[in-house]
Each structure stands twice: as C-alpha cells, then as structure tokens.
Amino acid sequence: MTASLDQRDNTVGSDSDSGSDRQLKWFLRLVGVADLLAVVVVFLPTEWLGWAHEAVGLGALPQGRIVGYLARSTSLLYGIHGAMLLVLAVDIGRYRSLIRWYGRVIAVAGALLIGVDIAESMPVWWTVFEGAAVVGIGVAILTLCHDDLAKPDVRNE
C-alpha cells in the first residue's frame, strides 16, 4: 500500500521534534539567514560594488548596465532563496518532501557551479566557497533528512 508524500511525512507517531529535525531546522535557518543578508547588496551604491570586486581580487568591476543588473538581481534571488529556507524551517514535517527535493537539487546545482567557476577561471577560494559549499549544503540537508538516495519516494499513482 502506498501513501501520499504528505501522509508519509506526517504519519501519526512521527517524531517531528527529533534531534535530527531540530538540527535540520537550525541548519535551514542558518543558511536562510546567510542568504537573506544578500539583499543588502541590492541597495549598495555602485562604487561600493566596485570596491568589493577589487577587494576580493577580481580587479576593476566592469562597467555597463548588465553588470549592475546581474549583481543586484542575483543578490535579490539569494535573498528570496534565504526567505524560502526560513519558511521551510518553520514546519519540517509538513515540508519534508520539498526539503528532500531541495537537498538533491542544490547538491547538483553546487556541482554545476563548480563547473561554471572553473570555466570562468574564478579563484580557487571562490570555487570552494561557492560551488563546494553549495554541494555541502545539499549533502547536509539530505543527511539530516536521513534521505536514502537509492530508494524512490513513495507516491500515489
């Protein structure tokens, strides 16, 4: 007999306050708050963006509308991402299936970011901080969800 995703994740007797769920909740909050802080960049003066670009060793910030647009819109998307993680952290039991899916997707996205960073000749520290860290976040989420990657999710068909 199969159960829907919601039924499986919210079964009677499930321990929604288990230690791993508490750890997952705090981990999602930590990553969520860190990502939410990126919203600040949306409002920074262009001169500050240029200073930050040089300070991290990437040279002068290229000029052009697309550069400012990409920096600010990417930061906004990081902020939205952080807000989403904070919402997911509110009710682990309710959102467990989505959290598992997110863990898989973000781990793959991190691997793709490593490839992008290498293709764009980003500094090693950048690749580690971005791509490898994102892979690590996905793996940590899957570990805290006790996700069995070899076992498919149970679904009503």
Which residues in the chain show pLDDT less than 50?
Answer: 1-15, 147-157
pLDDT per position as a tens digit, 10-21: 443 344 567 788
105-132: per-residue pLDDT in tens? 999 999 999 999 999 999 999 999 999 9
Q: Is the dihedral of CA 62, 65, 68, 71 positive or negative?
A: negative
Look at residue 19 in the predicted model and tell me its pLDDT: 79
Quickly list DSSP for 41-104. Answer: HHTS-HHHHHHHHHHTT--SPPPSHHHHHHHHHHHHHHHHHHHHHHHHHH-HHHHHHHHHHHHH
- Predicted pLDDT at 17: 60
Residue 19: both structure tokens together: 């230690």
Q: 77-112 as b/e, with b when 16 or more CB fall inside 10 Å?
A: ebbebbebbeebbeebeebbbebbebbeebbebbee
pTM: 0.78
